Every structure is written in structure tokens, then in C-alpha cells.
Amino acid sequence: GAGVSQSPSNKVTEKGKDVELRCDPISGHTALYWYRQRLGQGLEFLIYFQGNSAPDKSGLPSDRFSAERTGESVSTLTIQRTQQEDSAVYLCASSRLWDSGNTIYFGEGSWLTVV
């Protein structure tokens, strides 16, 4: 596709429910990144993928958060037993390769509200 695509664009969920956020990177991009942006804060790194493997998961806030990527394309970020503090914009990004120098392209984000 032309850009990084994320779905849903908006999600309201009840506390305790599980949610899945989907990211479609730009075709041919091997590196994929997930970031979180809470209201009034900067972007927090969550995880990145090189192909289907995730060399760096250091930003995942707790074991309720997990992500996978299949076929070097689509990635899913899953949040189990959502809490109110999970409310944020979840941004996905991709780049052609994982090493620095490769421009990172961001999607428009998935707005998650936990009530």
C-alpha cells in the first residue's frame, strides 16, 4: 500500500477486555515498530520486528502486552485485560531495513480508550 495502515482507527473498550490492534506496513519493509503515545506525553517505544522476529521487546509495559508479526507483513499488538492506563494512541511504523539511515514511516495510529 501507499503508507502504513492501522486498524481500528478508534477503539473504546471496557476495562478487563482484550483488544487487538493491527498494522499493515509498507510493502517490502522488513522492519516494523510499535510506539505508544499517552495524552501529553512523548512516544514510548514498545517493540520492533526484524522480519518476523522481535530482537527488542524492552518497551512492552507488562506481560499483558504482546505482539506478533507473520509473513514479514502484518503485525498485531494485543493487550489483555485492559486497564485505564492503557488508554493511548498506538502508533505503528515501518522502514525498509532495520538499521539506522532507513527512513521510518508512521501510520496514523489507533486511538484506544479504556472505560
Partner 1 sequence: AQSVSQHNHHVILSEAASLELGCNYSYGGTVNLFWYVQYPGQHLQLLLKYFSGDPLVKGIKGFEAEFIKSKFSFNLRKPSVQWSDTAEYFCAVNAGLGGATNKLIFGTGTLLAVQP
Toward partner 1, which CB reaches closer, 91 or 114?
Answer: 91
Options 107, 110, 112, 114; binder of partner 1; rule CB under 8 A: 107
Q: Check binding of 35 to partner 1 (CB under 8 A).
A: yes
Q: Check binding of 91 to partner 1 (CB under 8 A).
A: yes
Amino acid at 16: G
Options 13, 22, 56, 74; binder of partner 1; rule CB under 8 A: 56
Q: Single out the segment in contact with partner 1 by CB under 8 A; choices: 15-23, 41-49, 69-77, 80-88.
A: 41-49
User: H or E element: which one contains 53?
Assistant: strand 53-56
Which grid cell sits at 113? Answer: 480508550
CB 80 within 8 A of CB 67: no
CB 6 within 8 A of CB 24: yes
